[in-house]
Every structure is written in structure tokens, then in C-alpha cells.
């Protein structure tokens, strides 16, 4: 039984447009507000009436579908209440039947493919804490889209050409440096040091000689590399790029992420230059002081530079070529690009340019900018070996050290492999959840000690709750396999827990529609807190046999939903903690 679907139909009969009713219905934040709520503000704008009056009229007029016990107008809201026995039976039955598919939509058949482009780590630079937030967010958004039924293509676009590459190459070819290490993780750190050495050399030279010294040499090296005439330079570039990409691949595997395609700037650079010249020929772009630009002033977006005066490609020219590649080769309808908020104006220009170009033959994939804010470490808690950025490896080492020590202290009798495996899963969960438990447009101040705590709004707390549920089921033995004849919640804790379980599909859909994984994070925290309260106040195994079977079924449902929600965030559960 689909309570929301039935309620939408009833609202349509009561005078609310069906599509609008489906959009407006929401799960209240508190149980006393019912199982569904209809805010009437948008209806007020359409009906030209006071929203309080609209709520009163609809609640009096609606014929509630089977399974609902009442509709109650509360100010500008209508709260709808499902019959508790009915909701309990339907909700728990559905969860136990669908298992890992509960709250997950059916994959689209023949629908349009969408791209989620994320990570965007540039070869030959460090993979730092900012990349961690990006890749963790991107994977969660991709999973939420898939859970809502969309066909998702995971793309990673990295810059393997440009000034940062020349700085790394300069340090490798002309500055004293450490011998190339053997291990892949060590090679990644080594490349980060090379880039820093090159960047520091340019900064020091600029202070002494201005922009025409080493900085100019870096620009010349970019041009020389693009020409391909210096075979030795190209060979070194290919070697360091391959090394960097292999290191990145090891990180992706460690994070449990697999891209459908990794696209590099060098693949689209020449096409980007060609597109810029073609736009000039078509009169879409204009020449200004030798450079090519698209005039977007009538759209309030100023002038969009698409080619340098020396004919070199820009991010914009390469991004236009990338949008064309996404449409032609990947055959995607839309690309969601997860890029920092500091690029907001640039993406407004890019998106408008693509929109205008698509008014012709539609050669370019529609692009949407999903912005996110930076991540900081709480002051004084952790310093970087590089001095300016916190590398992924440093973050993981620090968090793993904490989870390993705590796991070993709790379970000194465990084999070392089990301690390490559990600690690694907890560390990964702590890092991922720490990046996902806030709105992506909020700056995160990451405290790795708090992130690993068993108390508070953390992954270990949720994982511990999941372990606690599984412990109850293990102790239940054969009772855990029995199917209850009915589920009649007696306590407020049971009723509240079941109501929360019923809300999971709606919360997952809401998170997908708003590209907001933190909504799932908030839900999981609330569910874990509610379950722990239930655990402490409501007897499960100690209840009578019939009641015990009912409550065990509720515990099974909690464990399943916690696992499903964590999977949406790409966080693995653990057997014991």
C-alpha cells in the first residue's frame, strides 16, 4: 500500500492539482505533526486565499483514503495521520520484503542518461582534503540519483595541462629533489612535493624578478608541451602523468568509487580551440584585443573569454569541447558538475553560453553547476607535512590511527587483521560522513577526533547502532526468522520508530531531488537516536513470545534501513565494533 500515492489522489479529488499535491506533501519533522503534512503557502498564491483558510477548507472537504485515521488543520498546514496498526504492518512488511531495495527506485528503462562529474583532481598535484569532500559528495549524489531511478554516468575531468603541470615538470627536470620512491602512495606524496617545490620557486623568483622571470618560463613550457616538439619534455610529462593517475586510481579504489570515464584536458584542448574559432566565424564570438569572447552583457553576465590573445585554450574553451564530447560520445542529456562555489560566476557564464549555442543544433550537453564550499580543519588539531594543504593520505592516517587504537582497546583479543579491517572501515565511514553531514553549501570545519566519536552525529555512532540491532537479532536466534502475524505498537517509542522507518523512501527522494546528501545523513542520525532510545526503554527479547517476534521484526527493519541509508552515502557497515 502506497500511503502517499493514495493521499495525493484524495487531495486531487478535494481540489488540489495532483502534480502539485505530490510536490508539496512532506514528512513532518515531529511525530505529533502526523505522518504527512501539506503546507498551503503555494496553494494560497494560486487560489488567492489565506493559507490558514485553505488548510481548514481542504481538511474539512477531503475524503481520507483507507488506512488514514484523520486530517488536522494546524495553521497553514494540514497534518495527516495514518492508522498506527496499518502503518506498522505495511511499513515493516515492505522493508523485510524489499530488504536492500527498500527506499530505492527502479532503474530507468530507456531513459535519458545523466552525468555526474566530480573529483576533478589534477594530475601532478596533491590529492588533498578538498578533493575528499568533492569525491565523497559526488559519489553520494550519483547514488541518490540512481536510487531515484536515473541512469547515471560517473565522469572525472582532470587538468593534465597548464601551469601546475609545468611547475611539477620544472621541479622534476631542473631542481634538486628526492629519488623517485617505489610505493604508489609514496609516489603520490613525492609528486605533491615536486609541485610545491616548483610553485615555491616561481613565487620566490616573482618576488625578486617580477612576472617576466620564471613565471614566463612556466608559460613557455606549457606552449612547448602543447606543441609536442620537445620529445624529452613530452616523455617526462607522460611518465609523471601516468604515475599520478595510478596513484589517484588507488585512492578511488580505497574509497570504493569507480568512474565510468576519466577525461583529461589534453583530450579536449584542440577541439576547444577549434570551437572558439568557429564561434568567431559564426559571429557568436567577437575578437577583443586579440582574444575571443562571447558577449553576455544583455544577460547580466559580462563578457565570457573563450580564447587567449596568443591563441591558447582556456578553461572555457575546453569546457565547451567537454560539453560537446558529453553529448556526442556519452550521449547524455544533462551533466551535473560538482565544482567549488568560487566558480559560480564562471559556471553561470558557461551554462548561458551552452544554452544559447543549443538554440541552434543542440550539440552541447546541458550543464548544471552543483556548488559546494571548502573544508577546513579545526585549528591546531592537525598540521600538514606539506605546510599548506592537508593531503588525503595524512587525513586517513590520522583518523585510522584513532580508530585502530580505540578498536584494539575494546577488543584486545581480536586478530590483528580483524582490528585493522574494522578500524579502516570506521575511519573511512568517519571521513565520508564528516564530509556529508552538512549542507554542501556550508563550510565544513572537520574535527577528526569528533568524527570518530561513538557519541554525537557521526558515522561510528550510526554504525554502532547498526551493530547493536544485529546483536539483538543474533541473540534472538530462531525468533528472528519468524514472521509476525501482526505488528501492533504499544509504546510511543515503537510508534515513533515505525513512523521514521516509513519516511525513509521520501527522505531519500527529497535528498536526490535537491542534490543534498546531508538530508540522508540527518535522517540516519535521527533514526539511530530513536532506535537507541527504543533499545533502552522497550523490552524486545524479554517481552512475551508474540510481542518479542513483533519487536524483533522492528529491529530487523531498523538494521535494514540503516544499512540502506549508509549505502546511499557509500559507507560500509561492520559486523562488530
155: pLDDT strictly greater than 80: yes
The reply to whether 76 and 165 lie within a common domain is no
Residue 220 domain flag = yes
The domain that holds 33 is classified in CATH as 3.30.1360.70
Q: Are residues 57 and 164 in the same domain?
A: no
Domain boundary residue, one of 257, 275, 300: 257
Residue 326, burial from CB neighbour count under 10 angstroms (0-12, 13-18, 19+): buried
Task: Spell 405-416 as b/e; 16+ CB within 10 A means b.
Answer: ebbeeeeeeeee
pLDDT in tens, 12-42: 999 999 999 998 998 887 878 888 999 999 9
Q: Is residue 445 part of a domain?
A: yes
Q: Are residues 162 and 75 in the same domain?
A: no
User: How many CA atoms within 13 Å lie on the side-chain side of 69?
Assistant: 9
The number of domains in the chain is: 3
Whole-model pTM? 0.90
pLDDT in the model for residue 211:
67
- One domain for residues 559 and 414: yes
Domain of residue 218 covers: 158-257
- The enclosing H or E element of 220 equals helix 214-227
**Which of 32, 53, 82 is the last residue before a domain boundary?**
82
What is the overall mean pLDDT for the chain?
A: 93
Q: What is the CATH number of the domain that holds 560?
A: 1.10.730.10
547 and 400 within one domain: yes
Residues 6+ apart with CB under 8 A from 231: none
DSSP H or E stretch at residue 116: strand 113-117
- Residue 455, phi-psi category: left (phi > 0), alpha (psi -120 to 50), beta (remainder): beta
- Whether residues 410 and 548 share a domain: the answer is yes
Mean pLDDT confidence for 326-346:
97
Task: Verify that 59 and 192 share a domain, yes or no.
Answer: no
407 with 556, same domain: the answer is yes
pLDDT at 86 (0 to 100): 85
Is 231 within a domain? yes
Q: Is the dihedral of CA 291, 295, 297, 302 positive or negative?
A: negative
pLDDT in tens, 44-85: 988 999 999 999 999 999 999 998 999 999 999 999 998 878
Question: Do residues 571 and 428 make contact, with C-beta atoms less than 8 angstroms apart?
Answer: yes
Domain presence at residue 10:
yes
Alpha-carbon torsion, ordered 360, 364, 369, 374, to 10 deg: -140
Average pLDDT score over residue span 454-463:
92
pLDDT band for 379, please (50, 70, 90 cuts): low
Q: What is the DSSP letter of 456?
A: S
Q: Flag whether 551 is in a domain.
A: yes
Domain stop point among 65, 82, 99: 82
Residues 423 and 564 in one domain: yes
Residue 219: per-residue pLDDT = 86
- Exposed e or buried b for every residue in 327-357, given b needs 16+ CB within 10 A? beebebebbbbbbeeeeeebbbbbbbbbeeb
Q: What is the pLDDT of residue 383?
A: 42
Closest CA to 422 of 435, 405, 446, 437: 405
Same structural domain for residues 412 and 499? yes
Q: Are residues 190 and 75 in the same domain?
A: no
DSSP state of 33: G
Percent of the chain exceeding pLDDT 70 equals 98
Query: Positive or negative, the Cα torsion across 7, 10, 15, 19?
Result: positive
Residue 321 lies in a domain: no
**Residue 262 predicted with pLDDT over 90:** yes
Strand ranges, E, within 289-387: 291-295, 303-307, 332-340, 366-372, 375-377
In a domain, 136, yes or no: no
Beta carbons of 292 and 280 less than 8 angstroms apart = yes
The answer to whether residues 170 and 75 belong to one domain is no
Within a domain: 438: yes
Amino acid at each position: 500500500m502506497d500511503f502517499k500515492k493514495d493521499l495525493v489522489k484524495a487531495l486531487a479529488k478535494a481540489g488540489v492539482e495532483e502534480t502539485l499535491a505530490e510536490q508539496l506533501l512532506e514528512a513532518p519533522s515531529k511525530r505529533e505533526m502526523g505522518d504527512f503534512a501539506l503546507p498551503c503557502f503555494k496553494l494560497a498564491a494560486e487560489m488567492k486565499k489565506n493559507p490558514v483558510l485553505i488548510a481548514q477548507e481542504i481538511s474539512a472537504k477531503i475524503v481520507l483514503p483507507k488506512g488514514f485515521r484523520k486530517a488536522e488543520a494546524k495553521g497553514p498546514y494540514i497534518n495527516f495521520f495514518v492508522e498506527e496498526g496499518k502503518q506498522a504492518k505495511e511499513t515493516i512488511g515492505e522493508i523485510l520484503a524489499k530488504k536492500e531495495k527498500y527506499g530505492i527506485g527502479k532503474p530507468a528503462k530507456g531513459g535519458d542518461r545523466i552525468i555526474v562529474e566530480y573529483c576533478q583532481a589534477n594530475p601532478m598535484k596533491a590529492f588533498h582534503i578538498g578533493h575528499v569532500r568533492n569525491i565523497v559528495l559526488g559519489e553520494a549524489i550519483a547514488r541518490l540519483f540512481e536510487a531515484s531511478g536515473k541512469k547515471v554516468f560517473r565522469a572525472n575531468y582532470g587538468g593534465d595541462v597548464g601551469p601546475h603541470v609545468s611547475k611539477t615538470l620544472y621541479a622534476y627536470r631542473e631542481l634538486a629533489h628526492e629519488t623517485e620512491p617505489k610505493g604508489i602512495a609514496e609516489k603520490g606524496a613525492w609528486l605533491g612535493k615536486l609541485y610545491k617545490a616548483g610553485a615555491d620557486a616561481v613565487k620566490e623568483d616573482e618576488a625578486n624578478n617580477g612576472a617576466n622571470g620564471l613565471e614566463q618560463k612556466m608559460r613557455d613550457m606549457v606552449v612547448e608541451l602543447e606543441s609536442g616538439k620537445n620529445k624529452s619534455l613530452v616523455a617526462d610529462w607522460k611518465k609523471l602523468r601516468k604515475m599520478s593517475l595510478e596513484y589517484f586510481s588507488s585512492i578511488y579504489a580505497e574509497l570504493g568509487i569507480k568512474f565510468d570515464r576519466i577525461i583529461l584536458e589534453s583530450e579536449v584542448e584542440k577541439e576547444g580551440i577549434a570551437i572558439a574559432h568557429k564561434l568567431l566565424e559564426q559571429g557568436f564570438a567577437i575578437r577583443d584585443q586579440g582574444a575571443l569572447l562571447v558577449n553576455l552583457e544583455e544577460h547580466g553576465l559580462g563578457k565570457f573569454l573563450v580564447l587567449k590573445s596568443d591563441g591558447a585554450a582556456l578553461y572555457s574553451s575546453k569546457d565547451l569541447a567537454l560539453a560537446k564530447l558529453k553529448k556526442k560520445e556519452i550521449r547524455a542529456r544533462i551533466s551535473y558538475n560538482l565544482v567549488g562555489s568560487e566558480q559560480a560566476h564562471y559556471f553561470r557564464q558557461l551554462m548561458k553560453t551552452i544554452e544559447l549555442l543549443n538554440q541552434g543544433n543542440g550539440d552541447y550537453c546541458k550543464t548544471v553547476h552543483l556548488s559546494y564550499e571548502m573544508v577546513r580543519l579545526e585549528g591546531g588539531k592537525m598540521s600538514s607535512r606539506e605546510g599548506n594543504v592537508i593531503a588525503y593520505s595524512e587525513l586517513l592516517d590520522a583518523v585510522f590511527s584513532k580508530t585502530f587504537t580505540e578498536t584494539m582497546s575494546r577488543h584486545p583479543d581480536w586478530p590483528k587483521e580483524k582490528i585493522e579491517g574494522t578500524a579502516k572501515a570506521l575511519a573511512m565511514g568517519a571521513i565520508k560522513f564528516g564530509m556529508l553531514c552538512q549542507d554542501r553549501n556550508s563550510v565544513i570545519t572537520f574535527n577528526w577526533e569528533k568524527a570518530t566519536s561513538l557519541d554525537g552525529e557521526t558515522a561510528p555512532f550510526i554504525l554502532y547502532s547498526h551493530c547493536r540491532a544485529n546483536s539483538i537479532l543474533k541473540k534472538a536466534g530462531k525468533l528472528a526468522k519468524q514472521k509476525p502475524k501482526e505488528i501492533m505498537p504499544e509504546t510511543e517509542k515503537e510508534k515513533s520508530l515505525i513512523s521514521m522507518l516509513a519516511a525513509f523512501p521520501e527522505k531519500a527522494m527529497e535528498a536526490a531531488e535537491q542534490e543534498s546528501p546531508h538530508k540522508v545523513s540527518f535522517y540516519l542520525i535521527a533514526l539511530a537516536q530513536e532506535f537507541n532510545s527504543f533499545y533502552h526503554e522497550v523490552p524486545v527479547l524479554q517481552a512475551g513470545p508474540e510481542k518479542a517476534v513483533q519487536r524483533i521484526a522492528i529491529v530487523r527493519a531498523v538494521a535494514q534501513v540503516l544499512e540502506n541509508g549508509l549505502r546511499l552515502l557509500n559507507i560500509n557497515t561492520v559486523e562488530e565494533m
